[in-house]
Amino acid sequence: MLYLLYEWLKDGDYAKYFNFLRYPTFRIVAAATSSLVIGMLFGPRLIERLRVQQHGQSNVREDTPESHQKKKGTPTLGGTLILLSIFMGTLLFADLHSPIVWCALLMTAGYGFTGWLDDYLKLSKRNSKGLAGRYKIVLQTVFFLIAVFGIMCDWTGGVPHLQIQTTLTFPFIPTRYANPDLGWLYVFFAWIVVVGTSNAVNMTDGLDGLAIAPTMIAALVFTVLLYAAGTTVQISDYEMINGVRTLVGRPVHEYLGITKVDGGAELAVFTASIIGAGISFLWFNAHPASVFMGDVGSLALGGALGTVAMLSKNEFLSAIIHGVFLAEILSVMIQVVSFKLTGKRVFKMAPLHHHFEKGGMGETKIVIRFWIISVLLGGIALASLKLR
């Protein structure tokens, strides 16, 4: 909204006073800061209200380790605070003319609604089952299709023309060497990325602070990637032209060998809002947690990260960025397949963080080590830019 104010005033007498709003770098930092402040301001009141509304209701699964049973009575639905902060930060500072910003917001809201419905059923029925898995997938698919065909498609002439790039990029490989085009098959591939990421974050959200920190780290990495792919800033470099070493300027995305993303800098405002919202939520979610994010938070954040991976053309790189989430969901898949085929379990308990808990590792140590791994994976993902 503030960027639209700048556009309205840019040709007037007061333009010079709002000129700072034209710079994506300022708006990225401002979005992160504003979402952080909003979360900190509204957090205590929201948590107290959730505590009163959910008094005496259990939101802890019965099959989790014994240490989790002590957390009964901790309010859930804290993800609503995250969503409020993300939306306020993005709406205030992003260019709202950008379709990819609205695509990300719609997916986040849609997946948040799916998670809210799951949490509501858990609380209203006073059990931990909630919404059946197949119905979650159906709702996630519906919102995905609405976002893709409703926002990221041009229906000129009554025929859909996909506005999302359908090419694939690979870590450590410049796009000039490998950039295959999947055509309409890309929609199915993107669905796997988005829905898979959403459910992976949901499975990771099992310990205080475990899911939110890797989410913030991933959002930070995506902020850098999006700014590089979407900025008009040029980098000077020497090239041989007609046998002469000449200094020339090239766009950042071309210099780094990555796909250009129209509106990438604006989507970076959205990911920056995730960082600020995540920091404010971690203030209340750090062990011992005052509130749980619930599925309304984990499904929404996973959907947001998956959508950003799709829109930023980092689908395969996201497997590195989301390495912790990937390990968690793979541990569940391996456990299920192994038990069905052999009757034996590979892990003491799935998802993976419960395996370490069953092995005697303390909750805080598990969480911090997963954070460290997330930082390492984020560093590897950023290193892939230069190594291209």
pLDDT in tens, 299-308: 999 999 999 9
Nearest to 281 by CA among 272, 292, 271: 292
Task: Give the DSSP letter string of 324-388.
Answer: HHHHHHHHHHHHHHHHHHHS--SSSSSSHHHHHHHTT--HHHHHHHHHHHHHHHHHHHHHHHHT-
Nearest to 64 by CA among 381, 384, 351, 374: 351
Mean pLDDT of 193-209: 96
Q: What is the pLDDT of residues 137-188, one digit of tens each?
A: 999 999 999 999 999 998 988 888 999 999 998 998 877 788 899 999 999 9
Within a 10 A sphere around the Cβ of 156, how many other Cβ atoms? 8
- Structure-token pair, residue 342: 């052999």
Q: What is the pLDDT of residues 209-268, one digit of tens each?
A: 999 999 999 999 999 999 999 988 787 676 767 777 776 777 888 888 888 999 999 999
| 297 contacts 78 by C-beta, under 8 angstroms | yes
3-class DSSP state of 162: strand
Q: What amino acid occupies position 1?
A: M
Nearest to 290 by CA among 118, 73, 84, 85: 73
| 121 contacts 135 by C-beta, under 8 angstroms | no
Q: Among 10-14, 99-103, 253-257, 384-388, which stretch is predicted with the lowest mean pLDDT? A: 10-14
The overall average pLDDT reported for the chain is 90
